[in-house]
């Protein structure tokens, strides 16, 4: 039985690479800088679900900025296709698509992030199905480590309200707490079990003990 090689794991440092985008050449870690970053991949430009998704990304420009987060797309199409496609994105989303899109024609980025198998190649006259696995979201911290990843099938558009909520949860958890199911900003957070009651009171003040291992407190600012 062939052993499966694991791809990127949570808290791995993400690959650094140089790539062409519709806004010029980037060096990925330099492009991230001290920000949070989200890498969105899609199978092919000029396809219906992907166009609605990137329209949603464009609509959220102010939300990304508020959270100190840079967003970037990637597909295996070329720079000129990306530039042409952006007019469709802006038409559907009703907002300027100001984020760059990586032209991963050689598949280097898709393979580095384990979105396509190492032996993958693009046939002539490819369809979106030929790169169907390139449909992922990667949230990356300022430390260049992978904080969260999601992969979707071809037929289900991504829920960008959930992407924003997950980003909020990650940024909150960086303050030494955890977030419960369905958490949104403004709600109470969870004190990690590794923190003693004495230390919890010193750090967070009052807290509620729901169960011996489940303690809630106001979200730190």
Q: Is 50 one of the catalytic residues?
A: yes
Does pLDDT of 4 surpass 50? Answer: no
pTM over 0.85: yes
Q: Is residue 168 part of a domain?
A: no
**Domain identity same for 132 and 91:** yes
Mean pLDDT is lowest, of 39-43, 123-127, 193-197, for 123-127
Looking at residue 111, what is its pLDDT? 85
Average pLDDT over residues 38-61: 93
> Pseudo-torsion of CA 170, 173, 178, 182, nearest 10°?
-30
**Domain identity same for 55 and 154:** yes
Q: Which residue has the tokens 């464009």?
A: 58
- Tens-place pLDDT, residues 132-188: 445 799 999 999 999 999 988 878 889 999 999 999 999 999 999 999 999 999 999
**Domain identity same for 184 and 125:** no
Domain span including residue 70: 18-158
CATH of the domain at 105: 3.40.30.10
- Tens-place pLDDT, residues 97-135: 999 999 998 888 988 888 875 666 555 555 555 554 457
Looking at residue 120, what is its pLDDT? 61
**Domain identity same for 132 and 181:** no
Counting every residue written for the chain, the total comes to 221
Q: Is residue 11 part of a domain?
A: no
Angle between helices 48-59 and 79-93 (to 10 degrees): 70
Q: What percent of the chain lies above the pLDDT cut of 90?
A: 74
Average confidence score pLDDT of the chain: 90
Higher pLDDT, 123 or 10: 10
Looking at residue 144, what is its pLDDT? 98
**Whether 216 contacts 210, CB under 8 Å:** yes
Looking at residue 184, what is its pLDDT? 97
Out of 14, 37, 50, 200, the active site residue is 50
Q: What percent of the chain lies above the pLDDT cut of 70?
A: 89
Q: Which of 174, 204, 179 is nearest to 190 (CA)?
A: 179
**Domain identity same for 30 and 83:** yes
**Domain identity same for 125 and 83:** yes
Rounded to an integer, what distance in angstroms lies between the CA atom of residue 86 and that of residue 67? 24
Domains: count for the chain: 2
């Amino acid at each position: 039985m062939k052993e499966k090689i694991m791809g990127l794991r949570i808290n791995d440092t993400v690959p650094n690479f140089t790539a062409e985008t519709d806004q010029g050449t980037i060096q990925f870690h330099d492009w991230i800088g001290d920000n949070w970053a989200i890498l969105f991949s899609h199978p092919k430009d000029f396809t219906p679900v992907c166009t609605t998704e990137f329209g949603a990304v464009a609509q959220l420009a102010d939300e990304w900025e508020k959270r100190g987060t840079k967003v970037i797309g990637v597909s295996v199409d070329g720079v000129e296709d990306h530039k042409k496609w952006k007019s469709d994105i802006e038409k559907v989303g009703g907002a300027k698509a100001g984020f760059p899109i990586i032209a991963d024609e050689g598949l280097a980025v898709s393979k580095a992030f384990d979105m396509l198998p190492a032996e993958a190649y693009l046939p002539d006259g490819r369809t979106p199905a030929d790169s169907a696995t390139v449909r992922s979201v990667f949230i990356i911290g300022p430390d260049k480590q992978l904080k969260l990843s999601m992969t979707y099938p071809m037929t289900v558009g991504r829920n960008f309200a959930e992407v924003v909520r997950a980003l909020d949860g990650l940024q909150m958890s960086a303050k030494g707490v955890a977030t419960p199911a369905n958490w949104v900003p403004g709600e109470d957070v969870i004190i990690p079990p590794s923190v003693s009651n004495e230390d919890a009171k010193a750090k967070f003040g009052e807290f509620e003990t729901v169960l011996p291992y489940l303690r809630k407190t106001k979200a730190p600012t």
